[in-house]
Amino acid sequence: MNIEVQDTAAAARTLRASTRSGRTLRTPCFAPVATGGALKGVLTTDLPDHAFDLLLSNTYHLLLRPGLDVIESLGGLHRILDWDGAILTDSGGFQVFSLSGTRTIDNEGVSFRNHIDGGLLRMTPESVIDAQERFGSDIAMVLDVCPALPATKAELTHAVDTSLAWARRSAAARTREDMDVFGIVQGGFDTELRQRSALATVELGFDGYAIGGLSVGETAAEMYLGIEATVPFLPEDRLRYLMGVGRPDNIVEAVSRGVDLFDCVLPTRNARNGKLLTRAGFLNIKRAEYRLDDQPVDAECTCPACTRYSRGLLRHLYKSRELNYYHLATLHNLWYMADLMRDIRAAISTGGFDDLRAEVCRRYAETEPV
């Protein structure tokens, strides 16, 4: 992956990154999540033109449904998603955390009793790299162990040691020259473990590096400690990816600490649950106060929901469980994220990032949804 630094504001930076496959990422960059090969509620053709450079799908879910054979037969993940931009596939390491009750870990890999029919799914570092190569991914993640937080020192140490062993095997398993592979740093918010994990992972020579093991139960302050304990040990000429973080205030704080890349289900999941993202903070469309409100959700937003419909109508659609609500609300939240990342990049370039960061943090602290 080739990296061109364009602008900086203290640790915050804008980059132009070119993947081995020839696709371009503008950072800071947010990747909407198409977990099983589809965005929930919208099509990729519904997204604003050139707003997103990257989508994320998940290897665990793709292997279960539609399955590797189907993806290959139908022309690969880009064709399934009808997407010309880059695609990052997560390795399934997050499911080691989220499905902890249905999996077992050994030195060779992870065995899952899958959530669809209870069948056995075996994943190893080698099989995960092979699957992502066959998906046609632009960026592949190594298989890792992601423990829930809080965790004991012993649990964090096991996650670091196992993830490093699997990262070595992942690096040796790659065969495609046109796919970037990212290593993942573990360690919770333990500074010593973070440093050890980062230095050892970087030594393996990956194309980019993810800050894993965060957004799994810790406070925002603890998350920021984990970021601060990792970024100084990552090379400046590689992307730094904070996995699974999508709150606007968390994003601007992470950007201020040197993070380039983000993904999260928050915008689409929140939309489906009536929580809309705006320049004034969270807006809970379920509230009775919006029943007769003829204003748009966000007067500065140019998405179809805001330019054509009112808060009152969206509330009605939500309360009636009309499918149109999920489409419009999801589009709005994704539109907001595209605008936020554009504004962050512009603010870094023009010297206004600190003001933007302070405003986003203030707005979202004041409007926490219930």
- What are the residue numbers of the active site? 90, 263
Sequence letter at residue 46: D
Give me the count of residues in the chain. 370
- Asked whether the beta carbons of 301 and 289 are under 8 A apart, the reply is no
CA 306 to CA 144: how far, in whole Å? Answer: 41
Sequence letter at residue 12: A
Residue (of 92, 88, 35) closest to 65 by Cα position: 35
Sequence letter at residue 91: S
Per-residue 3-state assignment (H helix, E strand, C coil) for the chain: CEEEEEEEECCEEEEEEECCCCCEEEECEEECECCCCCCCCCCHHHCCCCCCCEEEEEHHHHHHCCCHHHHHHCCCHHHHHCCCCEEEEECCHHHHHHCHHHEEECCCCEEEECCCCCCEEEECHHHHHHHHHHHCCCEEECCCCCCCCCCCHHHHHHHHHHHHHHHHHHHHHCCCCCCEEEEEECCCCCHHHHHHHHHHHHHCCCCEEEECCCCCCCCHHHHHHHHHCCHHHCCCCCEEEECCCCCHHHHHHHHHCCCCEEECCHHHHHHHCCEEEECCEEEECCCHHHCCCCCCCCCCCCCHHHHHCCHHHHHHHHHCCCHHHHHHHHHHHHHHHHHHHHHHHHHHHHCCHHHHHHHHHHHHHHCCCC
